[in-house]
Amino acid sequence: MTIDLVVELLTEVFYTVMIVLLPVLGISLVVGILLSIFQAATSIQEMTLTFVPKIVITALTIILLLPFIADKVITMSIKIFTMFETVVK
């Protein structure tokens, strides 16, 4: 296993992780910003007001994106196992 192969594999893995996580993190960020603006406009400083909607919307996003996430992770796993099989021979 050469350094070039390891670098290529790690690059693909990090890219896949970013592709899987960015939609969920992006939705959480947007919801957090909108709730912060709402809190600042109404002077409501309740901690659960930000926590509960963010958790619910993040969970819904994960559930809706689960087929996409599973496809990316399964594809990457198959690629890694195929590459492992090639390197071992």
Task: Say how far apart CA 24 and CA 60 lie, in whole Å.
Answer: 10
Q: Is 2 exposed, middle or buried (0-12, 13-18, 19+ CB in 10 A)?
A: exposed
Task: Say how far apart CA 82 and CA 59 lie, in whole Å.
Answer: 32
Helices (H), 1-89: 3-42, 47-88
**Is pTM beyond 0.75 here?**
yes
Mean per-residue pLDDT of the chain: 90
**Segment 45-85, tens digit of pLDDT:** 887 788 888 999 999 999 999 999 999 999 999 998 888 87
Q: What is the mean pLDDT of residues 32-56?
A: 88
Task: Say how far apart CA 66 and CA 20 lie, in whole Å.
Answer: 10
| Confidence class for position 89, pLDDT limits 50, 70, 90 | low
pLDDT of residue 61: 95
